[in-house]
Structure 1
Amino acid sequence: MNNEQWGTRAGFILAAVGSAIGLGNIWRFPYVAYENGGGAFLVPYLFALLTAGIPILILEFGIGKKGGGSAPLSWRNLNQKWEWMGWFQVLISFVIITYYSVIIAWALSYTKLSLNLEWGDDTKGFLFGDFLGVTDGVWNMGGLQTHLILPLVIVWSIVFITLYKGIKSGIERVSKFVMPLLIFLFLIITFRGLSLEGAAMGLNHFFTPDWSKVWHYKTWIAAYGQIFFSLSIGYAIMITYASYLPKKSDVNNSAFITALGNSGFELLAGITVFSILGFMAFENNVNISEVAAGGIGLAFVVFPKVINTLPAFNNLFGFLFFGCLVLAGITSAISIMEVVVAAIRDKFNLTRERAVVWVTAVSFSVSLLYATGAGLYFLDIVDHFINSFGILLSGLIQLILFGWFYKLRDIREAGNATSDFRIGAWWEIILKFITPSILLFIYAQNLIGAFREPYEDYPISALLTLGAGSVLLVMAIAWFFTRLSWKHSKSLNKKGVA
């Protein structure tokens, strides 16, 4: 039985914001915005926030609070036939944490490397060669990169200890410490970036609107993809966190605070990243487009180059930047793991401690695959398919089930009864008609794109086995767990109705 609860509302919100603010806010949003119209991108981004981000957050908070348990338990308690959906979301989280933890380990290693700028002048060659030992093809696994084992163990140890201690003493306490620290350190980086010569040029490129891109469907796909990616919706994190709320907790206002806090940090990250890229372009007398990048390339290739070029305090700046990546990643990793731990704990009636031990052991073992010479290939392919097909499919099914086969009004009224402000019928209209239609279009475009040309020119065998295979395996294992009988749980609604 789930007896744990958040100690304070602030603790819950900080944990939810900590889950939302992750690596993607820092290395994904700035480049996505830049590539899709700069300042003009804020139009579809805000529309996606209002029609998908906040409404779905309210829905997932409502599901968790009303369902009263982990994702499978909450879905089953609302409708006995929907347990599979909960396991689908849980297993998506499991897949994500196995490679997300490895990226945090990279950032932890680079935090140490920054003290002596050990990556040298050829930052790209160092990352893919000396550091990751990337092989010449997907199916050439190479050896285990032993220097990654210690940072990976440290990351998993932090996650393990936090979850082992529970909600109040673990997740809430860590969130209350880490989130203010992250904001403080990131503001230092922001002020430093804004003080650099060429910063204004970078900000000009970031904010200058290209209105021609606003009406292109790819811009809207990018906006909705960013909202799903950054707000942790669609893979049961917010459902799980909300299940630990007291019955009289506010969910509407908490959803707005979480979403706006996340978006505020993304905007701050955009300002920070492009002020620094402006400096880089100025120093090398090149256009901003020649230094702008996103994802792993931005964090582990471009930024080390920037750090090398800084006129002073290079080591400190590098330590702060990669330290921020670690902090942002850790809070997200904790939330992703809690989804899996809570589900296993509820299904098999285990103690928290035992569930944490088993889930961590399995997850850590799988994560070692991404620490091999072919690990970067595995990570790229699996991440692309899980995000483009797994999470989007989860979000779409979730909206269809609740919009058309469940009384959304029940969740809305339950939330309104305990919230600072009430949401109206507009919320139901958005979740029933507008957002599902948009997600269906995006999903169709992703499918068409997958058949049109192989992702990043990877071998078809790798895309089918690692990419499509990971999504199908998640579905199959979800079905398997659904078929298993529940161990005794007082929180289990035997009739499977709300």
Structure 2
Amino acid sequence: MAVQSDSWGSRVGLILAMAGNAVGLGNFLRFPVQAVQNGGGAFIVPYLICFLIMGIPLLFIEWSSGRFGGKFGNHSTPYILDSMVKGRILKYIGVFGIFTNIAVAAYYCYIESWTMSYVYHSIIGTFEGMNQADVAGFFSSYIDIGHSTTGIPYEAIIFYLLCLVINTYILSKGLKGIEKVAKIGMPLLILFGAILAIKSLTLGTSGASEIFPNANAWDGFNFIWTPQYDSIFDLKVWMAAAGQIFFTLSVGMGTVHCYASYLEEKDDIALNAVSAGFMNEFVEVVLGSMIVIPIAAGYLGLDWVIENAGFGMAFQTMPYLFQQWGSLIAIIAGVLWFGLLFFAGITSSLAMGTPWIGFMRDEFGWSQNKGAWSFGLIALIMGLPTVILFQQGVFDEYDYWAGTVSLVLFAMLETILFSWIFGMEKGWKAITTGADIQVPIIYKYIIKFITPVMLIIIFMGSLFKPKDNDWSGNIANLVSGKGWSLDNGSIIKTITHSGIKEHLASATDPVIIAQLQDQIFYLNFARLMLLGLFLFICGLVYAAFQKRYKEGRNTL
């Protein structure tokens, strides 16, 4: 058995780090938008059910898998999975647990750098006197590499590099560095969120204006928190709710495995997993739903929010809304909001570096420092195109393939492996050994039967997403023999650029034709970058296998 070269300093630090891994930008940016776009209260019921029958089981699987692999000295998914089920091929499933983290960190740190920049701009009063269109225009200028909002050349790249260096430096300090950031960042995140939530609770109708006379913050609360039980029969809402679970819990990435691999064999993982999961849910469902949507509804009205809800609201709308509270309060609110997002981002991005570092240390004897800075270098090489070519769609392409498809695919494969190949009897023992709580026996059967089926449905649903996301209508058409119409957002159609090619086929303007052809070129470039990264990691796993074989550490 290999000697552990790193360990957690305390249980509180572990739970906060795990919660920080899960609590990310999606808790505050994606969850409210998903809720609004899927009917508000109509979204909450399927979401909470998916958390219980898919989220908690995946946490159990990944915590127990990580701890199991850790006792054999494995701290990354290729050989954590290999320690569970020996086989030359199965270890390559674990490549997703390194690939996804590097690819996501590459563009995630760019969003993280936005929050740093916006803290700076909030403090110096950049947004003072701007109307809503001006604030939205500021964001467009910021992501334009050739434009600077501060006079600093290539401002977006500078902030991105600064963010990446901060992440890499902390990673070079090992788990102790991550734990320290989690102990500071998570309490501040919750404190900042609570202050803004209280402000939104007291807003009421005071933000109404001549343009939006019916604006009422409580309309936002009511919209999100009024359950609509007919949504239980809406497959579209279920797919959206299940998809949000991946983003909110950071499952299907390999980070949970890596963190848990540093636990001792008798350490609890059941209560830790539940604690981290419910802390994430508190931050997302309570704080995440009480800031953006109610404040926006309080000034712009619920109808505007429903029509315009999107990821960009955090950067393109919130600074304008804060200005309505006066100059001083606007600065404080901006620091709280973007500071909150920064802490949510960095506690997640730090987790993304650990699988690579653990793998290189285990397999090639690299030091923590060498592993951390090499991760930063690879993330920089992968990430610069998402910064420089953001407007050409490279960022979104990374997010789709690495931050969406890869997560679902890996979660589906690891769940089947855990439940049916490793075996549920051994799996249940791995979950309950050292447990500080009595894990309900029902979860043994949920993990074996329900969770794999749900994940297969989600993956197949993404692969064959119906046109206009109309599940009920397309199922009826299929039953009646009219066939199944694929949406351009389905994986199958996305691979072939069907949506872009449809526009290209109908375009007559040479300028538009050239733009669409350029778009296809840049998207293919992004895919080649991702494919190259995946194959590179596969090559490292193969080299590690050969090294282990020569050292007599492989059974196959």
Structure 2 length normalisation: TM-score?
0.81
Once the two structures are TM-superposed, the CA of residue 118 in structure 1 deviates from its matched residue by 2.0
Structure 1 position 124 matched with structure 2 position 136: yes
Once the two structures are TM-superposed, the CA of residue 386 in structure 1 deviates from its matched residue by 2.4
C-alpha RMSD over aligned residues: 2.7
Counterpart of 2:473? none
Structure 1 position 90 matched with structure 2 position 98: yes
Deviations 1:356-390 (A, max 9, x none): 12121221232222221535721112202223321
CA distance in 2, matches of 1:3, 1:335: 17
Counterpart of 1:100? 108
Matches within 5 A, 1:39-78: 39-68=41-70, 69-78=75-84
Structure 1 position 234 matched with structure 2 position 226: no
Once the two structures are TM-superposed, the CA of residue 246 in structure 1 deviates from its matched residue by 2.1
CA distance in 1, matches of 2:223, 2:55: 26
CA distance in 2, matches of 1:281, 1:353: 49
CA distance in 2, matches of 1:232, 1:404: 23
CA distance in 2, matches of 1:87, 1:208: 42
SS at match of 2:160: helix
Deviates further, 149-158 or 185-194: 149-158
Once the two structures are TM-superposed, the CA of residue 99 in structure 1 deviates from its matched residue by 0.2
Unaligned 5+ segments in structure 1 are: 136-143
CA distance in 2, matches of 1:422, 1:148: 49
Q: Evaluate the alpha carbon distance shift between residue 425 and residue 201 of structure 1 in structure 2; reply closer, same or farther with a 3 A threshold.
A: closer
The answer (yes or no) to whether the contact 1:36–1:214 under 8 Å persists in 2 is no
Once the two structures are TM-superposed, the CA of residue 182 in structure 1 deviates from its matched residue by 1.2
Unaligned 5+ segments in structure 2 are: 147-151, 207-215, 467-485, 501-515
Deviations 1:391-423 (A, max 9, x none): 101111111112221122223213323011233
The answer (yes or no) to whether the contact 1:145–1:373 under 8 Å persists in 2 is no
Letter in 1 for 2:544: S
CA distance in 2, matches of 1:112, 1:294: 23
Counterpart of 2:273? 255
Letter in 1 for 2:189: L
Deviates further, 29-38 or 373-382: 373-382
CA distance in 1, matches of 2:283, 2:365: 38
Matches within 5 A, 1:62-461: 62-68=64-70, 69-81=75-87, 82-119=90-127, 120-121=130-131, 122-128=134-140, 130-133=141-144, 146-168=154-176, 170-196=177-203, 197=206, 198-267=216-285, 268-282=287-301, 287-289=303-305, 292-295=308-311, 297-311=312-326, 313-374=329-390, 377-449=393-465, 452-453=487-488, 458=500, 461=520
CA distance in 2, matches of 1:385, 1:495: 32
CA distance in 1, matches of 2:157, 2:179: 28
Deviates further, 152-161 or 420-429: 420-429
The answer (yes or no) to whether the contact 2:38–2:237 under 8 Å persists in 1 is yes
Once the two structures are TM-superposed, the CA of residue 87 in structure 1 deviates from its matched residue by 1.5
Letter in 1 for 2:138: F
Once the two structures are TM-superposed, the CA of residue 493 in structure 1 deviates from its matched residue by 9.0
The answer (yes or no) to whether the contact 1:203–1:271 under 8 Å persists in 2 is yes
Q: Evaluate the alpha carbon distance shift between residue 236 and residue 493 of structure 1 in structure 2; reply closer, same or farther with a 3 A threshold.
A: farther
Deviates further, 356-365 or 5-14: 356-365
Letter in 2 for 1:132: I
CA distance in 2, matches of 1:85, 1:253: 27
Deviations 1:38-73 (A, max 9, x none): 223222111111111111111111111110122222
Once the two structures are TM-superposed, the CA of residue 98 in structure 1 deviates from its matched residue by 0.2
Deviations 1:322-357 (A, max 9, x none): 111111101001001112221222221211111112
Once the two structures are TM-superposed, the CA of residue 160 in structure 1 deviates from its matched residue by 1.5
Q: Evaluate the alpha carbon distance shift between residue 466 and residue 215 of structure 1 in structure 2; reply closer, same or farther with a 3 A threshold.
A: farther
Deviations 1:131-181 (A, max 9, x none): 11179xxxxxxxx9711233222212221221111112x111111111111
Equivalenced residue count is 482
Letter in 1 for 2:178: I
CA distance in 1, matches of 2:153, 2:447: 46
The answer (yes or no) to whether the contact 1:240–1:338 under 8 Å persists in 2 is yes
Deviates further, 371-380 or 18-27: 371-380
Counterpart of 2:538? 479
CA distance in 2, matches of 1:205, 1:425: 36
Letter in 2 for 1:302: T
Which 4+ residue blocks in structure 1 deviate beyond 6 angstroms? 487-490
SS at match of 1:418: coil
Letter in 2 for 1:256: V
Q: Evaluate the alpha carbon distance shift between residue 405 and residue 201 of structure 1 in structure 2; reply closer, same or farther with a 3 A threshold.
A: same
Q: Evaluate the alpha carbon distance shift between residue 334 and residue 188 of structure 1 in structure 2; reply closer, same or farther with a 3 A threshold.
A: same
CA distance in 1, matches of 2:44, 2:109: 30
CA distance in 2, matches of 1:149, 1:400: 41
- Structure of greater relative contact order (alpha carbons < 8 Å, 6+ residues apart): 1
Q: Give the greater-gyration-radius structure (CA).
A: 2
Once the two structures are TM-superposed, the CA of residue 253 in structure 1 deviates from its matched residue by 0.6
Counterpart of 1:138? none
Once the two structures are TM-superposed, the CA of residue 35 in structure 1 deviates from its matched residue by 2.0
Letter in 2 for 1:124: A
SS at match of 1:449: coil
Q: Evaluate the alpha carbon distance shift between residue 209 and residue 425 of structure 1 in structure 2; reply closer, same or farther with a 3 A threshold.
A: closer
Deviates further, 154-163 or 55-64: 154-163
The answer (yes or no) to whether the contact 1:44–1:214 under 8 Å persists in 2 is yes
Letter in 2 for 1:346: D
Letter in 2 for 1:448: F
SS at match of 1:235: coil
Deviates further, 180-189 or 432-441: 432-441
The answer (yes or no) to whether the contact 1:78–1:496 under 8 Å persists in 2 is no
Q: Evaluate the alpha carbon distance shift between residue 333 and residue 422 of structure 1 in structure 2; reply closer, same or farther with a 3 A threshold.
A: same
Deviations 1:252-288 (A, max 9, x none): 1111111111011111210222221122225xxx724
